[in-house]
Structure 1
Amino acid sequence: MFAYKGLRQELSSVEKNLYHDCLKLAMAGLFAMMFLGPWYTVALVSTPVKFNNIFAGLGVALSAPTLSNYSWLFVLKMLLVAAQAWLLIQLLVPIRGAGAAFSQQGYKASIAAAAAAGLTVLTGEYLNAFSQYPYFVANAPLIADKLPEPYRTILGRSLNLENISPLAQDPMLYLVTALGVAVLLAAAGYMLYIIFFRAEKEQQA
């Protein structure tokens, strides 16, 4: 929000300090992801079906079925993380001068980094949810294999999304979900604009 305001008018010294502190917090969070991301990946070893659905397409797989391929979504998330890192380094490391973060280009880079961060969260949640497709429980095939019949068949059918809802097989479901999220994000952005910027314009008028 400070970056957007900075594109339109000069920020006060307090706003500049808050803006710069937010950039540093963003970098700290991104640095933490360097450790939390690999830790989560290692934790997925205990959920081999989910692990394979994400990483088998990249040439790494465990001894479990691979039921779908979401390696492309993982790669997209990593590209978004890399974009955030590059933009934040440009803003915080004085390569282009100490005031680079407070220039017009700096504000635009900050907005781009924020957008990349939002998309990173979105792709991460999608990756976590879709990588267990087509089952409600990611390890459903491995659990079912340990059960005798007829419980094996009953559990396999009950936990299979494709048996529960035909929509689970429809590619349009992804598009509709993405459009719904886009509308929600646009509404949230407009609400913030009304609260922080239009009210300020009316007060100045």
Structure 2
Amino acid sequence: MLDLHAKGIQIRVVVVLTPEKLSTAAYLARYSDRLDVAYTFQEDRHGPELAGAVTAGLPWCRGPAALMLPDQKFDWSPAANPLEQAFGRLRYGAWAVIAAWTSDPDVLRNDGALCVGAGDPPVVEASVDKPSDPAGFNAAWVALACREGELLRLPSIVGGEENLLVGASAVFVSGYRNVSTPELAHG
């Protein structure tokens, strides 16, 4: 995000917290001189888990948006910023995913699973969050980008509805790891 800001692109970071996670706000304060950072709380009225967190953050989102999770890490360079690539793909479609190739069934069961075709650019052919049967999936989604008009679909996508990302363009990264589940680290 700092790379995009350095290029003159206005970035607003919306951070959804629970009272137990206030240390996240303190950590992100270091970026407030360069990025607009807004905090909101996930309450019972928003619903549980990631879909509830996304619902809590939606009122603060404007324009094209990216959903990035704090425990999803991956390798990249400023010259090949995958977030910039994903936003660029929104010129051609409503959704783009930042993804990592994997055939590890445990990773696919734990993360958002995708079946991505071999086209240029690669396109999502099937998607589901945390599938019980990962057969047929070949990638995990790391982050999502969408046009403003698609924001209201985000909670359904992370809430487990199948195939809502079909047709999305995929940008691939290496070195992906979910730091919440280091036993599943892959790259």
TM-score category by the smaller chain? Answer: under 0.3
- Higher percent of residues as strand: 2
TM-score, with structure 1 as normaliser:
0.22
- Higher percent of residues as helix: 1
Structure with greater Cα Rg: 1
Higher relative contact order (CA 8 A, sep 6+): 2
TM-score, with structure 2 as normaliser:
0.24
